[in-house]
């Protein structure tokens, strides 16, 4: 099981990989979650969900930037608490979306349909242009739903009372519409594919994420609480 856990994508906080004990924490969290959820098992990208929770709980014990701190120097009790809290938070986040990773991915299929319906209510011209490139219900819409691409947003939206899965729909819609101008300029499948695979979000910080979440909340209150506007 351990060899299948791909730790190569721990790029947000690469310095956390410097010690063996750091990796062992992540290994235990991912391994235990996988054996407790045999329907999906471990899926690449789930490891990204642990990192933000881990960093948040490390900050409870240090007063400096985590990138410059040797986590292994913490007391054993502190490390156990960090591991337990990180596991609980990641499990809570995944509880409502596990069917995104089971056979045939029924969760993602439902969200793709709901996302297209929502975007059609927000901006019908945008959706028509998007569909004109033969991307309707394609894997490119699923890219917006894939968890591992938006780890920072995942951590923030966990505070949403109705849970991650519900609010995530509006985050995806806000994210797609955020790139409306660039998407409308693409006229073919290949151009849109290249655009969506290389969106300039690598250096997004708190300000950009906050704007995205604010727009997602606006969409939620405009449509979730007004079902007649959401459904045809």
pLDDT of 20 = 41
- 155-183 in b/e burial notation, b at 16+ Cβ within 10 A? bbbbebeeebbebbbbbbbbbbbbbeeeb
Lowest-confidence region among 66-70, 78-82, 121-125, 146-150: 146-150
Distance CA 98, CA 43 (A): 10
So what's the pLDDT on residue 95?
78
Q: Which residue has the higher pLDDT, 155 or 102?
A: 102
Q: Which of 222, 125, 101, 141 lies closest to 181 in space, CA to CA?
A: 125
Distance (Å, whole) CA 232 – CA 64: 52
DSSP state of 35: H
The reported pLDDT for the residue numbered 24 is 82
Query: Residue 226: is its pLDDT beyond 70?
Result: no
pLDDT of residue 39: 76
Range of weakest confidence among 64-68, 78-82, 147-151, 176-180: 147-151
Q: What percent of the chain has pLDDT over 70?
A: 66
Q: For position 112, what pLDDT does the model report?
A: 80
Residue with tokens 């695979």: 197
Nearest to 115 by CA among 164, 170, 179: 170
For 6, phi and psi rounded to 5 degrees?
-80, 105
* Highest-pLDDT range among 13-27, 64-78, 83-97, 128-142: 83-97
Q: How far apart are the first and last CA of the chain?
A: 46
Long-range contacts of 206-211 (CB under 8 A, 24+ apart): 209/152, 209/153, 209/156
In this predicted structure, the answer to whether residue 162 has a pLDDT above a threshold of 80 is no
Mean pLDDT for the stretch of residues 165-179: 83
pLDDT in tens, 2-46: 444 444 334 444 545 544 456 788 889 989 988 888 877 777 777
Percent of the chain with pLDDT over 90: 6
């Amino acid at each position: 099981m351990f060899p299948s856990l791909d730790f190569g994508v721990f790029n947000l906080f690469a310095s956390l990989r410097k010690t063996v004990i750091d990796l062992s924490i992540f290994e235990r969290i991912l391994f235990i979650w996988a054996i407790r959820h045999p329907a999906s098992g471990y899926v690449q990208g789930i490891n990204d969900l642990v990192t933000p929770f881990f960093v948040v709980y490390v900050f409870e014990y240090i007063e400096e930037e985590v990138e410059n701190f040797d986590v292994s120097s913490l007391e054993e009790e502190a490390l156990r608490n960090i591991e337990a809290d990180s596991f609980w938070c990641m499990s809570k986040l995944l509880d409502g979306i596990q069917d995104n990773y089971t056979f045939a991915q029924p969760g993602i299929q439902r969200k793709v349909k709901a996302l297209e319906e929502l975007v059609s209510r927000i901006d019908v011209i945008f959706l028509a242009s998007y569909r004109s490139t033969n991307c309707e219900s394609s894997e490119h819409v699923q890219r917006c739903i894939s968890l591992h691409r938006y780890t920072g947003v995942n951590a923030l939206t966990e505070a949403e009372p109705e849970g991650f899965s519900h609010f995530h729909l509006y985050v995806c819609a806000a994210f797609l519409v955020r790139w409306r101008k660039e998407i409308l300029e693409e006229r073919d499948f290949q151009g849109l594919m290249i655009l969506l695979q290389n969106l300039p979000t690598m250096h997004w910080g708190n300000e950009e994420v906050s704007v995205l979440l604010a727009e997602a909340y606006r969409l939620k209150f405009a449509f979730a609480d007004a079902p007649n506007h959401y459904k045809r």
